[in-house]
Amino acid sequence: MIRRFAYLMFSFVVAACASGGGSAGAPATPQKIAFSGTPNGIAIRDSDGAVFVTDDKTNGIVMTENIADASPDFALFARIPAAEGERTSLSQIDFAPNGHLMVERFGFGTSSAVFDIAPSRQAMLASDTNPARRRLGIEVLDGGTFLSSWFTKEGNAPATGGVSVITRGATPGSVTERDIVTGLGKPVGVVVVGDTLFISDQAANRIFKVDLQAARASNEPVQATDVFATVDSPDLLAASSDGTLYTKCGAHAICSFSKRGRATVLASDFDEPRGIAVDGARKRLVAVDRSSARDKPSALRVLPIR
């Protein structure tokens, strides 16, 4: 009788873990959560699963502490200083090891910048670099160094872009920016897995991979020629701890990419996919679904992952 009871309890635990019950807050089924703003980038705080989203409507970062609620409340976390006379457009965000948030302003070719948001919610300029570079992707390497993807465009000429490494200087507010990858069209997403830098180039419909250490050690910027995957209109990138990549694939879909670059469609009913964040502890993916119609709200989509 005791063995029978133990077997039943073991079976129950296995079934619960397989269905996602073993991870607090992990959705058993996909969720679609209405978002009243104009979202783009997204990040998840590892410690508690709080979700942070860049919102062009408020020109700030909004957050919710429990995305698993049926109707989570989104509160303004920090407002980003606006560039006078320019449209608002905030790009990717990423957490630094000290709990600060790094966020990029796209800039439309005249006012791009990177901001540091402290846990106190104070926003400070972190990168007073070339404002003509339209910045999209960001990846924090450590407390004082981060990567930025960018492109420039003049008139009807094709866009040209790359990835730079930005390092904080000894003086507060001072930074240095050095290009480590060039020769791209419109690089959007950047993510680092181990020693490999992955870059999604929307103009080339490719995800490239680059040896990050070799690129940083090189005296000249390297060219991105190693194609990891071919994908239609990729956008911002995310990666899980096992090396799986996630990004937009086509006009209305989100795909995962195995270590060999093989694509699997996770959802194909998005309006306009944008930023993606992986919450490995809770086995979920949270993606921005930006509305293309004024009378239809945007949304955050929560997808269970293994």
Q: What is the DSSP track for 156-191? A: TSPPEEEEEEEEE-SSTT-EEEEEEEEEESSEEEEE
Dihedral-angle region of residue 265 (phi above 0 means left; psi in -120 to 50 means alpha; beta otherwise)? beta
Helix (H) or strand (E) holding 101: strand 101-105
Expressed in angstroms, the distance from the first to the final Cα of the chain is 35
Query: Structural domain boundaries of the chain?
Result: 30-304
DSSP state of 253: -
Helix (H) or strand (E) holding 138: strand 134-142
| Full-model pTM | 0.89
Structure tokens at 245: 């990549």
Paired strand residues for 301:
32, 287
138, 167, 302 from 23: Cα distances, Å: 28, 37, 14
Top-level class of domain 30-304: mainly beta
H-assigned helices in the chain: 2-18, 212-217
* Phi, psi of 6, rounded to the nearest 5 degrees: -60, -40
CA 102 centroid distance within chain: 11
Q: What is the DSSP track for 144-155? A: TEEEEEEEE--T
Contact by Cβ (8 Å): 137, 188? yes
Rg (CA), the chain: 20
69, 227, 256 from 184: Cα distances, Å: 41, 12, 22
Tens place of pLDDT per residue across the chain (306 aa): 434 433 333 333 333 333 333 344 455 689 999 999 999 999 999 999 999 999 999 999 999 998 988 789 999 999 998 888 888 999 999 999 999 999 999 999 999 999 999 999 999 888 778 999 999 999 999 988 999 999 999 999 999 999 999 998 777 667 899 999 999 999 999 999 999 999 999 999 999 999 999 999 999 999 999 999 999 999 999 999 999 999 999 999 999 999 999 999 999 999 999 999 999 999 999 999 999 998 899 999 999 998
Strand ranges across the sheet with 227-230 = 187-193, 196-201, 206-211, 227-230
